[in-house]
A = this chain, B = another copy of it.
Amino acid sequence: MPEFLTLLPPKEALERLFAHISFNPGSEDVDTISAPGRIVAHPVTAPHPLPAFPRSTVDGYAVRAGDTYGASDTLPAYLTVTGEVSMGTSPDFSLTAGRCGLIHTGGMLPAGSDAVIMVENTQVVREGEIEALRAVSVGENVLKIGEDVAFSDEIIPAGARLRPAEIGGLMALGITRVSVARRPLVGILSSGDEVVSPEANVRSGQVRDVNSYSLSALVEQAGGVPIRYGIIPDDAGRLFEVAFQALQACDLVVITAGSSASVRDLTAQVIDALGKPGVLVHGVNVRPGKPTILAACAVPAGSPPKPVIGLPGNPVSALVIAYLFIVPTLHRMLGMTNPEARLGLTARITINLPSQAGREDWVPVKLRMENNSFLAEPVFGRSNLIFTLVRADGLACIPADATGLEVGDPVTVFLF
């Protein structure tokens, strides 16, 4: 458990944490109407085919295709109009040879018809009779039953996020309730004798709590529910007490420690004492955020361990590490599939950026568009000041196997 003896790469560190957690998100049924953004807990299947009846895709006449064979401008086929299909009803007539029915886009085909001829390809001869000026083939301009989805098709896999299209698709099938992953509860503790509430009158030497709020916002954005346990003084007993209470109530506990080495050690000891197996990773080969702690703690003993993440106190380090470790942990808890695709884009770096080989660097960048591709311009700030992040659009990764980037090199940028 001592700090910094072995610095794991971030990916390995996260894998080590995940290996000790049994992800079992739990689900709840909600109204589809309130489900946008939620993650589907179980695969959703179609209770009936869609469309549920054969529909016309054009304005025209429902016909028996055979009646139009050979028809052309010069040699039209004559058809008797039997009736008109009213929208929203089952046609009250059926077609026999030589007959057709007026139909609108979305209308239901009458029995006996197997195609629709577009109104543009017809001509009214007299009341009740038309000329078909071309031939249509069987199925032309018709949506067959089940052509969108068939009965019992899996329409939404478990782990998918409900976007506007999914909400519409569920409603199309009459699925007005849906089972979604329960939102993980995330306990957030800020520690540090110098940290005071944002509402407080700040005295010289004190700083306001930033991390409780920036992390809350990130947790919400990632699909979790933040629960703030306030500011805890640098006292092992008090920190243990609050962290233990948070761990009983929450699915994940995040503690931001002070920045000095002694306070970080105190935090690591408290986390390790919370439950077995305790601290798994102490120090990660990443900048910023080296003094990160990843732990899994079983409370009570013998129960499945829950993740506890110790973040550096610096607001920028805390937020960068939260993007690297808390967001993927929440996505995993939610059972999300392929969440990365949403966030990364490729840009070209605008300056040379040296970096230490073997260490992964995350650099705040501002994006701008030039010739239809993105340029990523690093936003520099001494000692990771919070407003360097405010001035950035996202984080660019300098991979561990690089010794830096040269002007024009492609970088993956994760957007805030």
- Tell me the A residues contacting B by CB distance below 8 Å: 32-33, 36-37, 50-53, 57, 59, 85-91, 104-108, 143, 147-149, 155-156, 162-169, 171-176, 192-196, 198-199, 202-218, 220-221, 234, 258-263, 313, 315, 319, 322, 341-342, 344-346, 367, 369, 372-374, 381-383, 385-387, 389-390, 392-393, 410, 412, 415-416
Give CA–CA (A216, B164) in the complex, Å: 8
The answer to whether B155 touches A205, judged by C-beta atoms less than 8 angstroms apart, is: no
Give CA–CA (A57, B314) in the complex, Å: 10
The answer to whether B315 touches A341, judged by C-beta atoms less than 8 angstroms apart, is: no
Identify which of B52, B319, B346 contacts A165 (C-beta below 8 A): B319
Chain B residues whose C-beta falls within 8 Å of the C-beta of A104 in the assembled complex: 258-260, 262-263
Chain B residues whose C-beta falls within 8 Å of the C-beta of A192 in the assembled complex: 87-88, 106
Give CA–CA (A195, B89) in the complex, Å: 10
Q: Could you name 5 residue pairs across A and B whose Cβ atoms are closer than 8 Å?
A: A32-B213, A104-B258, A106-B313, A107-B194, A173-B208
The answer to whether A52 touches B164, judged by C-beta atoms less than 8 angstroms apart, is: no
Chain B residues whose C-beta falls within 8 Å of the C-beta of A216 in the assembled complex: 33, 36, 167
The answer to whether B148 touches A385, judged by C-beta atoms less than 8 angstroms apart, is: yes
Identify which of B50, B147, B196, B381 contacts A148 (C-beta below 8 A): B381
The answer to whether B194 touches A163, judged by C-beta atoms less than 8 angstroms apart, is: no
The answer to whether A167 touches B106, judged by C-beta atoms less than 8 angstroms apart, is: no
Chain B nearest CB from A413 CB (Å) reads: 10
The answer to whether A315 touches B204, judged by C-beta atoms less than 8 angstroms apart, is: no
The answer to whether B164 touches A319, judged by C-beta atoms less than 8 angstroms apart, is: yes
Chain B residues whose C-beta falls within 8 Å of the C-beta of A392 in the assembled complex: 165
Give CA–CA (A413, B386) in the complex, Å: 31
Give CA–CA (A255, B198) in the complex, Å: 45
The answer to whether A53 touches B204, judged by C-beta atoms less than 8 angstroms apart, is: yes
The answer to whether A53 touches B386, judged by C-beta atoms less than 8 angstroms apart, is: no
The answer to whether B87 touches A217, judged by C-beta atoms less than 8 angstroms apart, is: no
The answer to whether B341 touches A367, judged by C-beta atoms less than 8 angstroms apart, is: yes
The chain B residue sitting closest to A200, CB to CB, is B174
The answer to whether A210 touches B171, judged by C-beta atoms less than 8 angstroms apart, is: yes
The chain B residue sitting closest to A167, CB to CB, is B217
Identify which of B32, B88, B143 contacts A194 (C-beta below 8 A): B88
The answer to whether B382 touches A88, judged by C-beta atoms less than 8 angstroms apart, is: no
CB contact under 8 A between A214 and B164, given known A199-B176, A205-B53, A385-B147? yes
Chain B residues whose C-beta falls within 8 Å of the C-beta of A209 in the assembled complex: 171
Chain B residues whose C-beta falls within 8 Å of the C-beta of A171 in the assembled complex: 198, 208-210, 212-214
Give CA–CA (A196, B192) in the complex, Å: 58
The answer to whether B195 touches A319, judged by C-beta atoms less than 8 angstroms apart, is: no
Chain B residues whose C-beta falls within 8 Å of the C-beta of A175 in the assembled complex: 198
Give CA–CA (A386, B50) in the complex, Å: 10
Give CA–CA (A155, B385) in the complex, Å: 13
The answer to whether B383 touches A315, judged by C-beta atoms less than 8 angstroms apart, is: no
Identify which of B88, B155, B205 contacts A206 (C-beta below 8 A): B88
The answer to whether A341 touches B369, judged by C-beta atoms less than 8 angstroms apart, is: yes
Chain B nearest CB from A268 CB (Å) reads: 16
Chain B nearest CB from A203 CB (Å) reads: 7
The answer to whether A214 touches B342, judged by C-beta atoms less than 8 angstroms apart, is: no
Chain B residues whose C-beta falls within 8 Å of the C-beta of A204 in the assembled complex: 52-53, 89-90, 108
The answer to whether B108 touches A217, judged by C-beta atoms less than 8 angstroms apart, is: no
Chain B nearest CB from A85 CB (Å) reads: 8
Chain B residues whose C-beta falls within 8 Å of the C-beta of A208 in the assembled complex: 171-174
Chain B nearest CB from A124 CB (Å) reads: 15
Give CA–CA (A354, B375) in the complex, Å: 30
The chain B residue sitting closest to A57, CB to CB, is B383
Give CA–CA (A218, B412) in the complex, Å: 27
Identify which of B53, B174, B205 contacts A87 (C-beta below 8 A): B205
